Structure formats: structure tokens, C-alpha cells
Amino acid sequence: MSVKVRFAPSPTGKLHVGNVRTALVNWMFAKGQGGAFVLRIDDTDLARSTPEFEQGIEDDLSWLGLVWDERHNQSKRFDRYEEAAARLKASGRLYPAYETADELDRRRKVQLSRGLPPIYDRAALELTDDQKAAYEAEGRRPHWRFKLDGKRVAWEDLSRGHAEVDTASMSDPVLIREDGLFLYTLPSVVDDIDMGITHVIRGEDHVTNTGAQIEIFEALGGPVPSFAHMPLLVGADGQALSKRLGSLSISEMREQGYEPIAITSHLGRIGTSDPLEVGTSIDALGQSFSFSKMGRSPARYDTADLDRLNAQALHVMDYATAQPRLAALNCDLGEPVWNALRPNLQKFSDVVDLERIISGPVTPVVDDPAFAAAALDVLPATLEADAWSVWTAAVKARTGAKGKALFMPLRHILTGQEHGPDMATLVPLIGRERIEKRLGGETA
């Protein structure tokens, strides 16, 4: 069977790390199996969906490298949902209910006070045609509930192993609201059938929903896909990320300077047995993915890990990849400079400040003018690859300084900073003319 998965975001907000982890795992599983990845925009809520958010979803996925094989909009498929609803109504599986939200809330409270589970009591199934007509005359419009079989629904979950849900312990789910709006469940099942989705991969918070959805698949006569319910994301402190997802949107992370491969490596490997290292490519992540590597505990999302992976991605980035971005920042001094600076990058934009160490201007920090004068006096006439070791040996012989007392004053003078790239690499790149000026206390 050819694998086909889908990612179905709603264009009512920005994609955040929780959304993208779901998209990524779907994409990795499909690509690792030689299958297809479907982007399905869940825009049935026409009032809240916007073209701007829809475009943002596409931009974020494309930037991350999660290219889709098919793309659909649910807003263009209302006729199929109406057909499915009509079939379910005709078979008695979709029935009208007229209770208001307040009435349902009061009923739940009464059930709880009696020690009963707060599930819908199916009172609407007892309504006569006259009672329904009376409600309609009052101006009430029904919401439509799917009548569950009330059985144990079992499946072999790719992530959790054997899973069962007792639909007798659930309320009949509402599939269509009073205003005629289709809720997520029915369009999702209809689309999965029509589009040939073979695997539904999502968070473990959907496990209970799966029991009801399997019954809907069966009621519509469609093949039931395989399911995988992943452990959810938590923060480094073990607390749920749900309240913090707004600050973890992919567009904001892009603006903050994170690399796509760092984000996908992080989200694709946390909570698995794979080492938390940056992948060589998004395709390599897909080829190495397996649900057998995924643990059962919540996956910890730690920004410190992402920062480490981001730096790691930059430290191995070759010049050909970096060159267009360097040119855009007006700091392309060639491959030797890039190779010298990249081990010190945390974000790509750091290269601007680091490049300035070489090309200037740098305001030298001269703590001891006599030391600087002595260093200038023994500066080699030509700065070859071994210039730093030759020069520091000469300065040591002239001043008696050694260790930090030798190296740190020279770093302060030449770079104006406490830390930075390897001085042995920097010295030939800075050049004798700028070094002379900086040793003399000039900004150069």
C-alpha cells in the first residue's frame, strides 16, 4: 500500500511549533516510506479563515522544506460534505437536536450531581415530528449529532501500540452546528476517504476522537486509515506549551534568525531515541524516521537545544550555501573569511559583527600602551599562516608576558572584544596595515 498522509491546518492564525511538529512527522513518515504528503487547508469556518493566514501557512512550510504533493481547500468541498451528511441522515446516524448551550450545561450539572457521567442523554431521539416543528416555530435550528454505536473501538496505533476507546462513554458528537457550519470531524473523514489517506498522524489529545471517527468512516463505507497519536510537546520545565505557543510561531522564529534545518531537526528528534543533532538535510531526517524510535513520554521542547542545533547548522554550512546570504548582508569577504567566522556564529546575522573584526572599523582596547608598542615592534613583516605563533613568541620574548597575560591584551587590541574567532586565523585576514593602526590605538 502506498503511504499517503495529510496535514490540515486552519488558516485562522500563525503556524507554531506544535502545528509544525505534526506536519513534520507526517512529512517524514511519508517521505521515508516513499509516499505522498497532502496539504489540506481546513477553511470551513469562512468567518475566521483569512487569505493572509493561508499564505503564511504555505510560506512557513515551504521555508522549512515541507513541500506538499497535493493541496486542497475544504471550503471548495462543501457539496461533498452535504452529500455525506445526507447519507448519514438517511441511515439514521445523523439526527437533529434542539437543546441550547444553556440547557445542555444545566443537564450536565444535574448528571454530575447524581454521580453520572456528563454525556449527552440522546433526548433528541425521542422528539416527535410535532415537537420538532414547535422548536422550529420558536426559531430554533437544530445542531446535528452522529449516533455512536456505543461499542469498544480498537486499533493498533503506530505510536502507542494497541488502543481502545469505548464510544458508549462518549456523547454523540456534533457534526453540524445550528448555523449550518460543518465542524472538523465530518469534513476530515470525508476528505480522508476521498483523497485516499492511508495514515492519520496527530497528537495524543485526539485519541478519544479517533473512536468516534472510526465509526464515521465505517458508517460512510470508507476504508479506515491507520492511526498514530504522538506524545504532546511540553516545555523544558515539563509544563504544557499550550499557553506559550503564541510566542513560538514559525514566522517569528524565522525573524529571530533560526535556520530551517535546526527547527526541523529539533522538532523531528525530540522525544525519540535519535541523538539530538542537526540533520544533514530534511530528506535525511525523513529517511531516518521511525515510530519505533518515538517514546511514550511527552517530548520536551527546550529553546537551549534549538539554539545549540542552530549554531551547529551554521558551523558546518559551506561557503556556496552561505554566499548569497552574505552578499545580501554586504559582508561577503570570500570563503577564507567565512570559514574563519562560522565556528563562532549562533545566528547567521552574527556574521555582520564578526566580519567587522576583519574589515573594521574596530576601536582597540589598549590597556598597556607599552605592551602594544612592544608588540608592534616585533610584528612580522609578512603575515603568513603561522604569523600568530611566530608573533606571540616574539612578544613573549620581548615583554615576558605569557598565557592570558600575553594573548588577551592582543585580542583586546586587535578585536576590541573579550572572545571571538581563533586569532591564528584572524591575523592574516586582518592584515598588517590594520594591525599596525590598532596597536597604535587607532580605530581601523
Residue 159 β-bridge partners: none
Q: Was 132 annotated as part of a binding site?
A: no
**How many angstroms separate the CA atoms of 440 and 342, rounded?**
29
Angstrom distance (rounded) from CA 48 to CA 229: 27
Let me know: does 17 contact 245? Beta carbons within 8 Å: yes
Short-list 348, 331, 340, CA closest to 421: 340
Given a contact cutoff of 8 angstroms between Cβ atoms, the answer to whether 202 and 131 are in contact is no
Write down the H helix ranges in 227-302.
250-255, 260-269, 282-288
Which pairs from 430-438 meet CB under 8 Å and 24+ separation?
430/357, 430/358, 431/383, 432/379, 432/381, 432/382, 432/383, 434/360, 434/362, 435/379, 435/383, 436/376, 436/379, 438/362, 438/364, 438/413, 438/414
Name the residue type at position 416: G
CB 94 within 8 Å of CB 145: yes
Q: Are 38 and 27 in contact (CB under 8 A)?
A: no
Question: What's the grid cell of residue 389?
Answer: 605563533
Identify any residues that bridge with 299 across adjacent strands, giving them in sequence order. Answer: 233
Say which DSSP state 181 is in: P
Contact 127, 134 (CB under 8 A): no
How would you label 111-145 residue by residue, b for 16+ Cβ within 10 Å and e otherwise? Answer: eeeeeeeeebbeebeebeeeeeeebeeeeeebbbb
Tell me if 325 sits within 8 A of 313, measured CB to CB. no
Sorted by sequence, the CB contacts under 8 Å of residue 49 that are 6+ apart come out as 10, 11, 12, 41, 43, 75
- Dist CA 164 CA 375 (whole Å): 77
What does 189-211 look like in DSSP terms, one character per residue?
HHHHHHTT--EEEEEGGGHHHHH
**Could you tell me the three cell numbers for 349?**
546575522
Q: Which residues are annotated as a binding site?
A: 243
Q: Which residues are annotated as a binding site for ATP?
A: 243
